[in-house]
Amino acid sequence: MRTFWITIAILLTAGLGSVMFIPSEPITGSAETLPDEQRAALIAPSPRPAAQKAPATTPPPSTTATLALGLDQKIKEATVRPGRIAQENGSIVADGKFTIPGSGTQERPYEISWELLMSASDTYIPRLGEREIPQRIALLNGAYVRISGFIAFPLIATETDECLIMLNQWDGCCIGVPPSPYDAIEVRLLAPADNSKRHIVRVGSIEGIFHVDPYVMEKWLVGLYTMDHAVLSTEM
């Protein structure tokens, strides 16, 4: 728009104003011979109309209901911190960040991530006096879940029904990164597993009944998650 008005001004200065504009009164001569006031009136742009201000709109209220799932859970020496839990397309969406497929049954276990489990550290740190378990974690308590990770067995047993499933690789002794209470689950299997090949990195998935079961010693969190009635599927 500014280029348009500059072009008009150049044309008027060049003496073409009488062609492009028809004055209200007869004017003789070019724009250069006009009095200053009339010449300024020809060159000055017309004021723009005021912009129409769009009426303020209020976003429609959310139609997604917040579920009370998990708020009734009783967890040892902890309270449940309410969150935003919704059901969308057959999955649970927790706090707008975590998607949990499944229904928590043996036929359709919740498929959970380590990121979800580790998020308990946002509000549950006993040594700091923080003892709130997020609702998104509490709703898993007592439900069937499935999770994948690294598997570690007790070193002294060749056959055992206990193991750890962890986010990071660890052989139970010397190789890898020892787990924290937030990124490991203590597992009791339905059937004993072969542990004759020690120090082998095992990766697999486990399905079973999940429990939020804090184990605290002198305000220090030693363990947080357990699973029983579990079935192990390993990949070598």
- The rounded percent of the chain whose pLDDT value lies above 70 is 69
pLDDT at 194: 76
Pair of tokens at residue 122: 């946002």
Which amino acid is residue 189, in one-letter code?
L
Q: Which of 223, 186, 230 is nearest to 76 (CA)?
A: 223
**Does domain 79-235 correspond to CATH entry 2.40.50?**
yes
pLDDT at 127: 96
Domain boundaries defined on the chain: 2-43, 79-235
Give the pLDDT band (50/70/90) at residue 159: confident
Query: pLDDT for 58-92, tens place per residue?
Result: 444 444 568 999 999 999 999 999 999 999 999 99
